[in-house]
Chains A and B, each alone.
Chain A
Amino acid sequence: MLKVVEINNLTVQYPDVKALDDVSFVINQGDFLGIIGPNGAGKSTLFDSMLGLNTKYKGTIKFFGKDIRKSKNYLKEIGYVPQKPIFEKNFPVTVNDVVRMGLRNESDENRIDEILQQLWIHELSNRRIGELSGGQQQRVFIAKALVNNPKILILDEPVTGIDQQSIELFYSILRELNSKQKITIIWSSHDLDAVNQLANHVACLNRTLFFHGKSEKFFSDDKLIKQYSEASMQEHMHHH
């Protein structure tokens, strides 16, 4: 199996806290990896490091066998959907404009229509992004992430503040991308049930990686689930 991502001994030390401590794992081509962990577990730090937004880390991160410190070319193969895309509500761009921003090869005009149709937002093409609902906006950002036909799709807790119907549509889109188009998906989520339904691998993160493997294995092990729930609960109380 082809390794698309290899992370070795990844440690990120912030001035007051160690965000990630000696994390190592491998993601193979075609994996649908659900990354779970409580708030402050280091999921966003992990993504920032993988995407080149945080360069102050120890250890190595390789995409397609190449160290990301040496070349940024791997970014061409990645589609990224942030947790909550920040933009001005009145920003004068349409759905079509937003998806076009993601398009590297600007002559590839048809690809925009194609991806808008695939995500059921074709009719919204000329609407301003700020006028859409949260679920619709999210599909626009997935379309932008997919418009270059990436090999890997990275999503950071992408269902925060979105209605149930849109969440279900979103999950069915992810499933299809992974099973039919063979896109490797790396997805961080709070929703254990959803991870159980969708992901074929699970990484359980709480500063250190305390589980990584097939999702059947994680979800059939009551001890692991209990451990995870307790950690989340503690973290939850810590925060309030």
Chain B
Amino acid sequence: MSLEILTYSFMHRALISGIAIAILCSVVGLFLVLRRYSLFGDAIAHSSFGGIALGLLAGVYPLWTAYGVSIVSALIITRIKDKYNISSDASIAVLLSSGIAVGLVIIGFSGGFTIDIFSFLFGSILLVSVDDTVLILSLTGAILIVILLLYRQILYSTFNEEQAKVSGIPVEKINYLIVFMAGITVVTSIQLVGVLLISALFVIPNVTAIMYGKGFKQTAIISMSFSVFSVVAGILISYVFDITPAGTIVLLSIGLLAGTMVIKSAGLLSKN
């Protein structure tokens, strides 16, 4: 592999944005996985499809409408789930299908804009602009700061809601905060892996890291490392072989998961 590709500025932007997104998805995803909400990222991503179509139709930058639509619909579905006592998996199915449905209807009305949609479905990390990179870095920084500040409250309410309530933690507000942050994270990550493969970034590195049997902070660090490795290696490999980055990134993280499973069944990790 020639090192020349590391000198291109589009590659710098791709790697910097990719690393930020890898860290962000791994941290936010850890809380979703532990809340048995693994597919929530996927559902938000699908609802963002509706937002993207809306933006393309209205002639607005599609990611802005995607942020709006995703965050609002994620908060609404959470409210409905709590109010009508709908299970998490069913609420995810509702959110997921309604986003796609809205997107398809809008595309129908507009007569179709298939080329633009394709990059949103599968990501386009090599095309991120300087503005995109700045936005990705700022949102990542902001969300990580919020998580660090509220670390105990978020972890405690994820671990056991009832006990957290008795300890005076505003569990409901924390739940909405997580949904809000997940919405921002998903739309931010669309540029890296696209709508269809988002939940891979949320779930796979965390499922892998949890297998190492460590405490919370170590688990988060292992997950972030795997995530960053898959993204960086995925971007470089896909460029060299001229294949899609999204697919390569996800396959690499699945490789790490499989490797961990092998190590674990060989008895080299603590049995938990």
- Determine if A213 is an interface residue (Cβ-Cβ < 8 Å): no
A90 to B210, CA, bound (A): 7
Inter-chain contact total with CB atoms closer than 8 Å: 72
Q: Given the complex, which residues of A lie within 8 Å of B34, measured CB to CB?
A: 88, 91-92
Instruction: List residues of A (70-84) whose CB comes within 8 Å of B's CBs.
Output: 72, 75-76, 78, 80, 82
A78–B165 alpha-carbon span in the complex (Å): 12
Q: Mark A102-140, 1 if CB is under 8 A from B, else 0.
A: 111010000000000000000000101011000000000
Tell me if B166 counts as interface (CB < 8 A to partner A): yes
B162, A97: Cβ atoms closer than 8 Å: no
Taking CB as reference atom, which chain A residue is nearest B30?
A92
Quick check: A92 and B167 within 8 Å, CB to CB? no
Which B residues touch A94, using CB under 8 A?
A: 214-216
Q: Is A23 an interface residue (CB 8 A)?
A: no
Of the candidates B166, B168, B215, the one whose C-beta lies within 8 Å of that of A96 is: B215
A106 touching B215, Cβ below 8 Å: no
Q: Which of B24-60 contact A (CB under 8 A)?
A: 34, 36
Number of interface residues of B (CB under 8 A): 23
Judge whether A26 is part of the interface by a CB distance below 8 angstroms: no
Could you tell me which residues of chain B, from 170 to 187, have a CB within 8 Å of some CB in chain A? Answer: none
Stretch at the interface among B127-135, B151-159, B253-261: B151-159
The answer, yes or no, to whether B160 is at the interface (CB within 8 Å) is: yes
The answer to whether B156 and A101 have CB atoms under 8 Å apart is yes
Which residue of chain A has the shortest Cβ distance to B223 in the bound complex? A92
B214 to A80, Cβ gap below 8 A? no
Instruction: Determine chain B's interface SS by DSSP, over half rule.
Output: helix
**CB-nearest residue of chain B to A93:** B216
- Given contacts A106-B152, A131-B270, is CB(A92)–CB(B215) below 8 Å? yes
Inter-chain contacts of A75 with B (CB < 8 A): 166-168
Determine if B272 is an interface residue (Cβ-Cβ < 8 Å): yes
Interface residues of B in 108-158 (CB under 8 A from A): 152, 155-156
CB distance from A57 to the nearest CB of B (A): 16
Give Cα distance in the complex from A192 to B199, angstroms.
52
Contacts of A130 in B (CB 8 A): 272
Closest residue of chain A to B151 (Cβ to Cβ) is: A106
Give chain A nearest CB distance to B154 CB in angstroms.
10
Q: What are 6 A-to-B residue pairs whose CB atoms are below 8 Å?
A: A75-B166, A92-B34, A97-B155, A102-B156, A106-B152, A131-B272
A interface, CB within 8 angstroms of B: 51-53, 72, 75-76, 78, 80, 82, 85-94, 96-98, 100-104, 106, 126, 128, 130-131
Q: A52-B165, A72-B168 are in contact. List 4 more A-B contacts (CB 8 A).
A: A53-B162, A53-B165, A128-B213, A130-B272
